[in-house]
C-alpha cells in the first residue's frame, strides 16, 4: 500500500529509552525583523552571527535551519509569542511570519534525546536505521503554521538526525515506497555534541 505524501515536519513522540515525553519546551528569542519564516515542526538552530543554510542568525537568538545539517541545531520549533506591532496585541502563532518588527519568544523542543516522527522525501530503506540523514527543507504552510520538512533518503556521517525506526503509523509505514514516516533523534545538536 502506498504511503500518503503529506509532510508535517518533525513531531515529538517520546524519548530514548522509552521514557515518557514531557512534551516540554524551552523559551528562546527570535530577533525582531528576522527575515525567514519558521513553522511548527521546523528544525531551529542557535545563532552565531553566521548562516548555515539560510538567513544569518545573530548570536543569542534562534532561527530556522533552512537547508542543510547544522552543528548548531537546537531543537524543533513549536510556535511563538510576541506583541504584534500592527495590532499592539499579544499574539501566539504556530509559525513566525518573516520580518515582524518585534522580538518573539520561541518555544522549542530542545532535549537532544527527544524522538520525533517525520516523513521521508523518497524511499528510505531499513538499512538506514541507526544511520544519519539530513533534512529536506520545504517552506511550511501559513494557513495552519505547520512545517513541511522531511528527511532525505541519503545517509552519511555528519548529518542532522539519526534514524531510529519506522513509525507505527499504519497509513505511512510501507518502507517499500516513498514518503514513509520514521522515528528520528538529533545527530547534530548544540547541547549534545557541539565542540565550541
Q: Are residues 132 and 93 in the same domain?
A: no
Reported as a single tens digit per residue, the pLDDT across 106-119 is 999 999 999 999 99
State mean pLDDT over 117-132.
94
Reported as a single tens digit per residue, the pLDDT across 128-156 is 999 999 988 888 999 999 999 999 999 98
Domain termination residue (choose one: 48, 77, 109): 109
Q: Distance between CA 150 and CA 161 in Å, rounded?
A: 11
55 assigned to some structural domain: yes
Reported as a single tens digit per residue, the pLDDT across 46-99 is 988 876 666 889 999 999 876 566 778 999 999 999 999 999 999 999 999 999
Domain termination residue (choose one: 109, 143, 174): 109
CB 186 within 8 A of CB 74: no
Q: Are residues 122 and 178 in the same domain?
A: yes
Q: Are residues 82 and 118 in the same domain?
A: no
| Neighbouring-strand partners of residue 165 | 183
Question: What is this structure's pTM?
Answer: 0.92
Q: Distance between CA 181 and CA 117 in Å, rounded?
A: 6
Domain count, the chain: 2
Domain termination residue (choose one: 62, 88, 109): 109
Q: Are residues 129 and 157 in the same domain?
A: yes
27 assigned to some structural domain: yes
Q: Are residues 92 and 162 in the same domain?
A: no
- Kindly tell me the burial class for residue 87, based on how many C-beta atoms sit within 10 Å of its own C-beta (0-12, 13-18, 19 or more): exposed
Q: Which domain holds residue 172?
A: 11-15+113-186
Amino acid at each position: 500500500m502506498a504511503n500518503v505524501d503529506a509532510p508535517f515536519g518533525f513531531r515529538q513522540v517520546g524519548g530514548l529509552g522509552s521514557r515518557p515525553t514531557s512534551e516540554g519546551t524551552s523559551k528562546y528569542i527570535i530577533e525582531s525583523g528576522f527575515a525567514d519564516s519558521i513553522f511548527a515542526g521546523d528544525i531551529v538552530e542557535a545563532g552565531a552571527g553566521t548562516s548555515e543554510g539560510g538567513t544569518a542568525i545573530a548570536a543569542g537568538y534562534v532561527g530556522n535551519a533552512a537547508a542543510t545539517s547544522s552543528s548548531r541545531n537546537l531543537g524543533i520549533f513549536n510556535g511563538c509569542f510576541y506583541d504584534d506591532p500592527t495590532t499592539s496585541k499579544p499574539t501566539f502563532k504556530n509559525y513566525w511570519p518573516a520580518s515582524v518588527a518585534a522580538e518573539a519568544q520561541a518555544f522549542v523542543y530542545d532535549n537532544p534525546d527527544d524522538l520525533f516522527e517525520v516523513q521521508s522525501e523518497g524511499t528510505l530503506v531499513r538499512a538506514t536505521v541507526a544511520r544519519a540523514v539530513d533534512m529536506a527543507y520545504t517552506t511550511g504552510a501559513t494557513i495552519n503554521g505547520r512545517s513541511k520538512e522531511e528527511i532525505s533518503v541519503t545517509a552519511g556521517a555528519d548529518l542532522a538526525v539519526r534514524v531510529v525506526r519506522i513509525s507505527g503509523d499504519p497509513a505511512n509505514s510501507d518502507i517499500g515506497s516513498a514518503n514513509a514516516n520514521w522515528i528520528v533523534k538529533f545527530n547534530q545538536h548544540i547541547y549534545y555534541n557541539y565542540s565550541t
